[in-house]
Amino acid sequence: MQHQEIPPSEESDDQINAMVFEEHKLHPWSALHAESERVYAELIQLIEHLSEDDLTAPNRFPSITGEKPLYVAFIGCKSPQ
């Protein structure tokens, strides 16, 4: 929320996914689902504090979306149309 730059991760997405899977693979589905719902609700609250420019300006958050606007991270677009 303070527009702090997030350093790029040295791990690939596949490496991060594998680490997260290993960490959580033995947790019960109900706990994983509850955590997912909690994180989703928190994400929605954070998004509500962003301006339209924060969501639509290219290069605004390059460590998250590269040159694309932030909204593409939320709706899963390959590129803005």
Does residue 1 lie in a domain region?
A: no
Position 49 pLDDT exceeds 80 = yes
User: Looking at the domain assignment, is residue 20 inside a domain?
Assistant: no
**Residue 69 within a domain:** yes
In terms of residue numbers, what domain contains 50? 27-75
Assigned domain for 43 exists: yes
- The pLDDT value recorded for residue 5 is 64
Which of the two residues, 79 and 45, has the higher pLDDT score?
45
Note whether residue 9 is domain-resident.
no
pLDDT exceeds 60 at position 66: yes
Please count the structural domains in the chain.
Answer: 1
Percent of the chain scored above 70 by pLDDT? 84
Q: CB pairs under 8 A, 24+ apart, for 1-10?
A: 1/46, 1/49, 5/63, 6/61, 6/63, 6/64, 7/63, 8/63
Q: Is residue 68 part of a domain?
A: yes
